[in-house]
Amino acid sequence: MTSKAIPLPKLTGFSERNGNWYAEEVPLRDLAKEFGTPLYVYSRKALTEAYQAYDRACVDANGKRRARVHYAMKANSNLAVMDCFKKLGAGFDLVSGGELARALAIGADPKSLVFAGVGKSATEIAAALKAGVKCINVESIAELHQINRVATTLNCRAPISLRVNPDVDAQTHPYISTGLKGNKFGIAYHEVLKTYREASQLSQIDVVGIDCHIGSQITKTAPYLDALDKVLDLVAQLKKEGIVIHHLDLGGGLGISYGDESPPDITDFTNTLLNLVTERGFGYLDVVLEPGRSLVGNAGVLLTAVEYLKPGAEKNFCIVDAAMTELMRPALYEAHHGIVPVQTKALKSVTYDIVGPVCESGDWLGKDRALAIEEGDLLAILSAGAYGFVMASNYNTRPKPAEIMVDGEKVYIIRAREKISDLFSTETVLPN
Ligand code: LLP
């Protein structure tokens, strides 16, 4: 079996120099030695550059801000990652009471928070209203009424957008496509106007915006333009009816390159969308963008050590100390991540499946990779900054790994490795 000829993604925070991989100015092998493996490592420079690429398009030639980035924190909600974005001026897109608590914990301005999700509980809605979030993105008529009830109890007003399901095919993996009429997300396109009319009659509801998010790891601009056109048609109709919209939330979803994808450049992509908003006469709207993956995906790697090399009847296995518990994307979506030896060695290259120790055949991190490695070597799994640590689990009673942020030559532990004893410290056995 030959190795798949998938190239490595272009990275700004990680590089190979003289056969050694670095995070900014720090050799990855030094980090593994000091903090152990598996280990998540992030680059502040990569986070910053990705953010600035969005921000360049958010301000027009006259210096007027026409859009704001609300980082979709579900992609990586480590407080240090969020705080880096907050310091750059980001707001946040959240989807749970837990994410709200994290945003408040780093001192995010509640007015920079938008709250989405199909199943927000009454408790979560109350917490968001008490915090004073900018907007709750409503995903069903039932939820709209729930928000009105909660706001009545709290004697406050609830700022809302309706999340439109535009029935547009984002041309991505079916598990992460959200804008088709068969998906559970948003309000069906033909019901949106009627739902706005209903919302504007509810005693505690303030209609403030409109929202749309069509999926994730989208590598083309066309589906966004289709969705945006349809959403702007709705805004025009609402205006005629006297229902005023102040902001337009275009969601997130822009893809990254894991290897052979070529997504649009962030600044060009954002400009294209914002220019359409202006051309259609809606330049007065505040635009909200909710990128997640494209801000953090290529700003992180997962370091893992090779435990055993196991030649098999049909395949050779490289058994590493990371697993689907640390990085679930390959098991869940058959996602491809580049995998490189942290140090280049003059060994014969052999084709392996890179697998973890978890008791599932779905526990793999890479397939058919040609690697010149021996037991004890370190591998870096690339593009692991988004939907990596946040989707980690304790399956097989495996403690979650530590997370490190590198900033130039500086290294910070931003989350300590879990201890095995912590994993069952809240469990009790029966008395008899
Ligand atoms: N806004 C909303 C309402 C979302 O549901 C999402 C992602 C985003 C923004 C950010 O999308 P992004 O820019 O990160 O594509 N676990 C999957 C991805 C799930 C995305 C869920 N929603 C994966 O590992 O590929």
Q: Mind listing the pLDDT tens digit for each residue in 84-119? A: 999 999 999 999 999 999 999 999 999 999 999 999
- CA dihedral in degrees (219, 67, 127, 122; nearest 10)? -60
Which helix (H) or strand (E) is 16 found in, with range?
strand 14-17
Question: What does each C-alpha distance from 347 to 3, 223, 381 come to in angstroms?
Answer: 16, 46, 20
Ligand 1 atom closest to the Cα of residue 218 is: 15
Nearest-5° Cα angle at 214, 209 to 218: 130
For ligand 1, say whether the CB of 217 is within 6 Å of any of its atoms.
Answer: yes
- φ, ψ of residue 336 to 5 degrees: the values are -95, 130
Query: What is the average per-residue pLDDT within 325-329?
Result: 98
Q: How far does the centroid of ligand 1 lie from the alpha carbon of residue 285, in Å?
A: 24
Q: What percent of the chain has pLDDT over 70?
A: 99
Q: What is the pLDDT of residue 172?
A: 79
Taken in order 49, 52, 57, 62, the sign of the CA dihedral is: negative
Asked if residue 182 has pLDDT above 80, the reply is no
Asked if residue 191 has pLDDT above 50, the reply is yes
Closest by CA to 179, choosing from 213, 151, 205, is 213
Give the residue whose CA is nearest to atom 6 of ligand 1. 252
Q: How far does the centroid of ligand 1 lie from the alpha carbon of residue 19, in Å?
A: 34
Single pTM value for the model: 0.97
359 is catalytic: yes
Report d(CA 208, CA 262) in Å as an integer: 35
Reported as a pLDDT band with limits 50, 70 and 90, residue 171 is confident
Q: What is the pLDDT of residue 183?
A: 80
Q: How far does the centroid of ligand 1 lie from the alpha carbon of residue 173, in Å?
A: 12
Task: From 216, 224, 390, give the residue whose CB has the most ligand 1 atoms within 8 Å, as the site to mutate.
Answer: 216
Given 84, 156, 318, 359, the catalytic residue = 359
pLDDT one-digit tens code per residue, 376-399: 999 999 999 999 999 999 999 999
Looking at per-residue confidence, does 168 or 135 come out higher? 135
Task: From 68, 74, 217, 266, give the residue whose CB has the most ligand 1 atoms within 8 Å, as the site to mutate.
Answer: 74
pLDDT one-digit tens code per residue, 260-275: 999 999 999 999 999 9
Asked if residue 2 has pLDDT above 70, the reply is no
For ligand 1, say whether the CB of 117 is within 6 Å of any of its atoms.
Answer: no
Asked if residue 175 has pLDDT above 80, the reply is no
Give the residue whose CA is nearest to atom 19 of ligand 1. 176
Asked if residue 3 has pLDDT above 50, the reply is no
With a CB cutoff of 8 Å and minimum separation 6, the contacts of 288 are 67, 68, 70, 91, 114, 209, 211, 247, 248, 249, 250
DSSP strand E in 245-296: where? 247-249, 286-289
Q: How far does the centroid of ligand 1 lie from the alpha carbon of residue 176, in Å?
A: 7
For ligand 1, say whether the CB of 385 is within 6 Å of any of its atoms.
Answer: no
Asked if residue 4 has pLDDT above 80, the reply is no
For ligand 1, say whether the CB of 163 is within 6 Å of any of its atoms.
Answer: no
Reported as a pLDDT band with limits 50, 70 and 90, residue 1 is very low
Q: Where are the alpha helices (DSSP H) in 309-384?
A: 329-333
Contact between 192 and 216 under an 8 Å Cβ cutoff? The reply is: no
Reported as a pLDDT band with limits 50, 70 and 90, residue 174 is confident
